[in-house]
Amino acid sequence: MHVTFERTGRRRYATIVVPPGRAPRRVDPAPGYHDHIPHDLVHYLTEAELGLARGVFGRAAAGGGSFHETAEVPGDRRARARAQRRLKKREASLQRADDGDMAASEALAGLCTIAWLRRAGAETPAWAERFPVPPEHAAAVDRILDRLDEAARLWHGLPEGGSISYTWPHTDPSVTSG
C-alpha cells in the first residue's frame, strides 16, 4: 500500500492511502496538524516501526479502517447498501482479528508525540507533563523517535503541495516538493 502525507495549505495536511487493487482514499483535512510532524505520520511510523499490522494503516491495507470507500460507491441505492454491508462485515472481521494493535498504536503514537516534542524542545501542552514514558515502552519509543526526527525534518521543509510518501510497512520516505 502506498501512503502519502501532503501539506495542503497553511496548517492543513491530507493523508492519502492507495491499498492494493483499490482506488486511492484521501482524508483532507487530516486530524492533528502540527508544523513539525502531523498526527497521522506519527501513527504511520509507530505502526511500521513496531510491526503493528492491525493498527490504522494495517487495517487500511486490508481495506478497512478509516480509509475505506463509503459514499464513493457507484450505482443505485441497493448497490451502495450492499457495498456498505460488505464494508461493515470486513471491518468487523478486522476488529475481531485485532490482537491489541489498534490500542497499542493509539497509546504509543500519543507517547511518541509527547516524547518527540520534549526532545525537540518544542512547546508541549500542560497536560502532557502528567505522561512520562513508562519504562516498559522506553525502548520502543526511542526507536520511533529516531524515525520521527527524520520525518519531522522532511515535513517541516515541505512547501504547500509537497508530500512525503511511504510504502507500507516500510519507514523509508520519498519526498515530493510540490
**Structural domain tally of the chain?**
1
Is the pLDDT at 62 greater than 50? The verdict is yes
Q: What is the mean pLDDT of residues 125-137?
A: 83
Q: What is the pLDDT of residue 70?
A: 46
Strands 2-9 vs 25-27: parallel, antiparallel or unpaired: unpaired
Q: What is the mean pLDDT of residues 83-103?
A: 62
pLDDT at 30 over 70: yes
What is the rounded distance in angstroms from the CA atom of residue 178 to the CA atom of residue 171?
21
What does the pLDDT average to over 137-162?
93
| Partners of residue 26 on adjacent β-strands | 16
Q: What is the mean pLDDT of residues 85-112?
A: 70
Q: Is residue 94 over pLDDT 60?
A: no
Q: What is the pTM of this model?
A: 0.80
Q: Grid coordinates representing 129?
A: 507533563
Q: List C-alpha distances in Å: 165 to 6, 16, 44, 174.
A: 8, 9, 11, 5
Containing structural domain, residue 68 = 2-176
What average pLDDT score do residues 158-169 get? 95
